[in-house]
Structure 1
Amino acid sequence: MSHSQQPFPEKSPGRPGWARKRVAVPAALLIFFVGVGVGSSGDGQDKTGADAKAGPRPTVTVTRTAAQPAEAADTVKDAEPAPDGDTKAAVPNFVGMGLQSAQDKAQAAGFSALTSHDALGRARMQVLDRNWKVCSQNIAAGKAASTGTELDFGAVKLEEDCPAEDQSEPAKAGGTMPDFRGKSVKAARAALDSGTSITVTDASGDDRFILVESNWRVCTQKPAVGAAVSGRPVEFAAVKFGESCP
């Protein structure tokens, strides 16, 4: 071999005269070394494996409330009120009061079963209680009564005078014609059988239309008082309350 054919080693930049050899490192081995380096770096607080299992466990505080519902139930049971039938209260005096105020006072005293009626016997409904006043009460003032007792107020409108005593509505007609004279047309109609044919005319002769029958009173009637009804048609001639029958 000639001198020109002898191989010359590669010059290493760091070490002149030495050949630099390249070594291929498998990728899997490289990853292993990187993982070890990362796991061992830091301030020593990161733990894995057995070290993590041996670390302190968090403390959990449990509050037991199973006994609370039973205690609440006992409290409710002890606080149950007595039945209404066993509770009594003195009945206040309602006469002269506005109907709405009387009802409020009755409820404040413990009475909740309340009703009212037209003290003039005209079968009017107390739609607006503030427009009515109390003339009578079914339970005397000061008497002790069960709070379940129904209180009934006899009432008239504010501009009307209370009667000396409540005027009752006419009783239900049987087989004979009752005396409806002076009674309201509405009360007379209610006393007759619901199937009865009834005609009402203006007794004044002005041929006025009779709209609110509780505002009109009977002057004459057919059949006459005591006559057999037996399904016969009934005729009333009436005028407004406050007017004189002709």
Structure 2
Amino acid sequence: MLAIALLAAAYGTTPASASPAPTMDVTTTSAAAVGDAAGIRPSFDDSALVTFGAKKKVVPNVVGMKFQAAQKVMRAAGLRHLSGKKATGRGGIRLGDRGWVVVRQTPAAGKRVPADTRVMLYGKKVGE
């Protein structure tokens, strides 16, 4: 408090007589109003929001498929970061290996995820 009083005395002002903070006039205009003025009607449907920024993809259900088929389905859905693990938790599976079937996946089928999400496919040997 003493510091404020000293500064006020040095500059010849008191806190009560201090000048108000500068103000700025701000005008907001909606995108629709700008579009109307330009003769353009912008679209704001969900697909436009999804494609702006990080694109979201729906994870397909590949449980029960062979690994090679599951890989093709995931890539067709736009998900390219794929890994495979044995369902027992011991060791990994190369996605090109034949004779493996998907028994579990993460993220779950139907979930909307960014296109760069890592998809983990858990598998077992056919006939196990």
TM range (shorter): 0.5 to 0.7
In the TM superposition, what is the alpha-carbon distance from 1:159 to its structure 2 partner? 1.5
Instruction: Select the structure with the greater relative contact order (CA < 8 A; seq sep ≥ 6).
Output: 2
Question: Residue 126 of structure 1 contacts residue 132 of structure 1 at CA under 8 Å; is this kept in 2?
Answer: no
- What residue is the counterpart of 2:41 in the other structure? none
CA distance in 1, matches of 2:64, 2:99: 13
- What residue is the counterpart of 2:127 in the other structure? 159
Distance 1:123-1:109 versus aligned 2 partners, 3 A rule: same
- The two structures have a TM-score, normalised by structure 1, of 0.30
Distance 1:108-1:121 versus aligned 2 partners, 3 A rule: same
Distance 1:126-1:159 versus aligned 2 partners, 3 A rule: farther
Q: Which amino acid aligns with 1:157?
A: K
Cα deviation 1:109-142 (Å, max 9, x = unaligned):
0011000101112325437522100010111111
- Secondary structure at 1:134 match in 2: strand
- Secondary structure at 1:86 match in 2: coil
Distance 1:127-1:117 versus aligned 2 partners, 3 A rule: same
CA distance in 2, matches of 1:139, 1:127: 17
* Number of aligned residue pairs: 78
Cα deviation 1:191-233 (Å, max 9, x = unaligned):
xxxxxxxxxxxxxxxxxxxxxxxxxxxxxxxxxxxxxxxxxxx
The structure carrying a bigger helix percent of its residues is 2
After the TM superposition, which parts of structure 1 deviate over 4 Å for at least 4 consecutive aligned residues?
A: none
Say which of 76, 94, 109 aligns to 1:126: 94
CA distance in 1, matches of 2:99, 2:121: 14
Sequence identity percentage: 38
Q: Which amino acid aligns with 1:139?
A: P
- Secondary structure at 1:95 match in 2: coil
C-alpha root-mean-square deviation of aligned residues, in Å?
Answer: 1.9
- What residue is the counterpart of 2:118 in the other structure? 150
- What residue is the counterpart of 2:70 in the other structure? 102
Q: Which amino acid aligns with 2:77?
A: A
Structure 2 residues without counterparts, runs of 5 or longer: 1-50
Distance 1:89-1:127 versus aligned 2 partners, 3 A rule: closer
Q: Which amino acid aligns with 1:115?
A: S
Distance 1:127-1:145 versus aligned 2 partners, 3 A rule: closer
